[in-house]
């Protein structure tokens, strides 16, 4: 007992190999933040709808043409809270600006007809440095059939096993895609007014595309449709 | 330097110490790894804020201690029932291994907060004031807890050695 410090150190110097996987922890945190972003996007969408109804009852919301007028405010995108850590930047073959422009140019052919942004003249991607990914969000449809859509394009996590965003087991559906891509689809919140359908496409070109739609179940596009969008050759980060 | 890389470097340099401290706090390597994983995940979520602190290690220690105390409060930890008394470790070797078993057994007899005080004072070499700050109590409490813990360990260790010697 004379040298308790030495005894304590000796008592703990036979550590077995650790089961702690730092990469696994970072991946877990990244998944958590993605889920949170999609949930936040849904919250923003609901607030936007409520706000529009509150401010101008009975009046239709701004059309895409109105939003794209020259007096429209500069296009801004909300980013993640600053308390969250940045992730290591994955080397890509093009600059972030080039990737944003290229991915944005792909969107009109991929998105459902009538997809629009409430903040920007057009639906466009932006780079999210804290997640090291590219994101876009849009509104589709009108009235009760209106739903929000979010797309996240990110570099594939090495060794990642295809998985659904929110569900496991029978609630998670695997959809094989031409070219070897695997889409994992789930639908959560079916006991709410606006369930969320999520499709994560794990592509052979080392790109992962997550698409989430939130709205009335009848209005949501089927998972196969979202899987097709996520498998589009243009939505790659390695052109 | 990128903060993600900073996080990896920071944890990589201290992981062994975190695991050993957690082991001394709970006495089980598997549970220790669980505690450290939980603490590291919390550290990751708050890395930007924690990394600019004067002593980020103190944050990790606090989270570890909190995780341990929370774990001990969980329902499955409140009661342990055995059909037969659990077997004591069968140690036939003298020397450092015997001392290791004895010190771990003595630690195991302490209350969680007394154990935390011993680890903070004698494994991390913190002062009374630093330990008080980390456990959110007064220096006087640390002094009294330390004295009681040391007394309990002194009385426990000879018994353990007698048991091993048969």
Fold category of B92-166 in CATH? Arc Repressor Mutant, subunit A (1.10.10)
Query: Could you write out the three-class secondary structure of A125-147?
Result: CEEECCCCEEEEEEEECCHHHCE
Helix axes B96-108, B139-165, angle to 10 degrees: 130
The share of chain A scoring above pLDDT 90, in percent, equals 21
Of the pLDDT bands very low, low, confident and very high (cuts 50, 70, 90), residue A227 is very high
Phi, psi angles (nearest 5°) of residue B29: -65, -35
Q: Going by C-beta distance under 8 Å and a sequence separation of 6 or more, which residues neighbour residue B124?
A: B21, B61
Q: Is the ipTM here above 0.90?
A: no
Pairing of strands A133-140, A147-155: antiparallel
Classify A236 in phi/psi space as left (phi over 0), alpha (psi -120 to 50) or beta: beta
Query: Of B3, B29, B122, which is closest to A86 when you measure between CB atoms?
Result: B3
A20 and B47: CB-CB below 8 Å? no
pLDDT at position A61: 38
CA–CA separation, A216 and A198 (whole Å): 14
Quick check: A36 contacting B, CB < 8 Å? no
Pick the closest to residue A150 from A49, A225, A226 (CA basis). A226
Of residues B165 and A20, more confidence is placed in A20
CA of B16 vs chain A CAs: smallest distance (Å): 8
pLDDT at position B78: 47
A12 and B4: CB-CB below 8 Å? no
CA–CA separation, B37 and B5 (whole Å): 18
- What is the per-residue pLDDT across B109-133, written as a single tens digit (0 to 9) for each? 888 889 999 999 999 999 999 999 8
The arrangement of strands across the sheet holding A126-128 comes to A126-128, A133-140, A147-155, A207-214, A196-202, A182-188, A173-176
CA–CA separation, B43 and B47 (whole Å): 5
CA of B15 vs chain A CAs: smallest distance (Å): 9
pLDDT at position A215: 87
pLDDT at position A222: 93
* CA dihedral angle for residue B150, residue B155, residue B160, residue B162, rounded to 10 degrees: 140
Task: Kindly state the average pLDDT of the residues A5-13.
Answer: 86
A26 and B154: CB-CB below 8 Å? no
In chain B, domain spans? 1-77, 92-166
Tally the C-alpha atoms within 13 A of residue A175's C-alpha that lie toward its C-beta. Answer: 23
pLDDT at position A63: 38
Neighboring chain A residues of B154 at a CB cutoff of 8 Å: 1
Q: A85-99, A170-184, A216-230, B63-77 — which one is most confidently predicted on average?
A: A216-230
- Name the residue in chain B with its Cα closest to that of A32: B45
Residue A55 pLDDT greater than 60, yes or no:
no
Residue B15 pLDDT greater than 70, yes or no:
yes
CA–CA separation, A236 and B11 (whole Å): 33
Query: Of A5, A7, A29, which is closest to B41 when you measure between CB atoms?
Result: A29
pLDDT at position A76: 67
CA–CA separation, A97 and A200 (whole Å): 24
Residue A187 pLDDT greater than 80, yes or no:
yes
Quick check: B124 contacting A, CB < 8 Å? no
Which two structure tokens, joined as six digits, stand for B136?
Answer: 């959110």
Which two structure tokens, joined as six digits, stand for B48?
Answer: 């930007």
Q: Going by C-beta distance under 8 Å and a sequence separation of 6 or more, which residues neighbour residue A238?
A: A92, A93, A205, A206, A207
Of the pLDDT bands very low, low, confident and very high (cuts 50, 70, 90), residue B90 is very low
Of residues B152 and A160, more confidence is placed in B152
Residue with tokens 């308390």: A83
Pick the closest to residue B61 from B107, B142, B4, B121 (CA basis). B121
B1-77 has CATH 1.10.1740 classification: yes
pLDDT at position B92: 39
Of residues B121 and A132, more confidence is placed in B121
Q: A25-39, A53-67, A127-141, B20-34 — which one is most confidently predicted on average?
A: B20-34
CA–CA separation, B144 and B141 (whole Å): 5
CA–CA separation, A180 and B7 (whole Å): 35
pLDDT at position A235: 93
Query: How remote is the C-alpha of A158 from its chain's centroid?
Result: 18
pLDDT at position A204: 92
CATH architecture of A23-57+92-230: 3-Layer(aba) Sandwich (3.40)
Of the pLDDT bands very low, low, confident and very high (cuts 50, 70, 90), residue B1 is very low
Q: A85 and B3 in contact (C-beta within 8 Å)? A: yes
pLDDT at position A38: 67
Helix axes B3-26, B29-45, angle to 10 degrees: 150
CA–CA separation, B14 and B10 (whole Å): 7
pLDDT at position B164: 45
- What is the per-residue pLDDT across A164-181, written as a single tens digit (0 to 9) for each? 887 676 778 899 888 889
- Which of B100, B102, B158 should one mutate to test binding to chain A, selecting the residue with the greatest count of A CBs within 10 A? B100
Quick check: A129 contacting B, CB < 8 Å? no
User: Which string of DSSP letters, residue by residue, matches B96-142?
Assistant: HHHHHHHHHHHHHTS-HHHHHHHIIIIIS---HHHHHHHHTS-HHHH
Of the pLDDT bands very low, low, confident and very high (cuts 50, 70, 90), residue A80 is low
Query: What's chain A's average pLDDT?
Result: 77
pLDDT at position A106: 92
CA–CA separation, A46 and B71 (whole Å): 38
Task: Kindly state the average pLDDT of the residues B90-94.
Answer: 42
Of the pLDDT bands very low, low, confident and very high (cuts 50, 70, 90), residue A42 is low
Neighboring chain A residues of B99 at a CB cutoff of 8 Å: 7, 10-11
Per DSSP, A116 falls in state: B
User: Which of A81-85, B49-53, B132-136, B142-146 has the weakest average pLDDT?
Assistant: A81-85
How many beta carbons lie within 10 A of that of residue B100, not counting itself?
A: 18
């Amino acid at each position: 007992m004379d040298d308790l410090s030495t005894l304590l150190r000796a008592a703990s110097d036979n550590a077995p190999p650790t089961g702690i996987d730092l990469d696994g922890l970072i991946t877990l945190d990244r998944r958590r933040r993605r889920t949170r972003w999609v949930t936040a996007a849904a919250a923003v969408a609901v607030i936007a709808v409520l706000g529009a109804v509150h401010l101008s009852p009975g009046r239709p919301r701004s059309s895409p043409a109105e939003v794209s007028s020259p007096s429209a405010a500069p296009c801004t995108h909300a980013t993640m809270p600053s308390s969250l850590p940045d992730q290591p930047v994955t080397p890509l073959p093009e600059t972030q600006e080039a990737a944003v422009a290229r991915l944005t140019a792909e969107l009109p052919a991929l998105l459902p007809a009538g997809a629009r942004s409430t903040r920007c003249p057009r639906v466009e991607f932006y780079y999210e440095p804290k997640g090291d990914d590219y994101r876009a969000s849009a509104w589709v449809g009108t009235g009760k059939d209106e739903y929000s859509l979010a797309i996240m394009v990110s570099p594939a996590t090495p060794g990642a096993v295809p998985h659904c965003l929110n569900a496991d087991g029978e609630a998670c559906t695997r959809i094989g895609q031409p070219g070897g891509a695997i889409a994992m689809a789930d639908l959560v919140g079916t006991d709410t007014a606006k369930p969320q359908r999520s499709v994560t496409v794990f592509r052979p070109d080392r790109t992962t595309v997550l698409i989430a739609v939130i709205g009335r179940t009848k209005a949501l596009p089927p998972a196969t449709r979202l899987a097709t969008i996520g498998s589009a050759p243009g939505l790659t980060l390695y052109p | 330097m990128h903060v993600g890389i900073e996080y990896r470097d920071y944890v990589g340099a201290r992981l062994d110490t975190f695991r050993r401290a957690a082991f001394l706090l709970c006495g089980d390597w598997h549970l220790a790894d669980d505690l450290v994983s939980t603490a590291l995940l919390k550290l990751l979520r708050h890395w930007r804020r924690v990394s600019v602190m004067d002593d980020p290690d103190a944050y990790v220690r606090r989270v570890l201690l909190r995780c341990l105390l929370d774990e001990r409060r969980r329902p499955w930890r409140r009661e342990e029932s055995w059909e037969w008394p659990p077997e004591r470790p069968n140690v036939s070797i003298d020397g450092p291994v015997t001392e290791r078993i004895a010190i771990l057994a003595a630690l195991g007899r302490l209350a969680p907060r007394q154990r935390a005080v011993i680890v903070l004072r004698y494994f991390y070499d913190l002062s009374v004031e630093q330990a008080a700050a980390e456990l959110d109590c007064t220096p006087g409490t640390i002094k009294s807890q330390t004295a009681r813990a040391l007394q309990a360990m002194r009385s426990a260790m000879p018994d353990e050695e007698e048991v091993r010697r048969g």
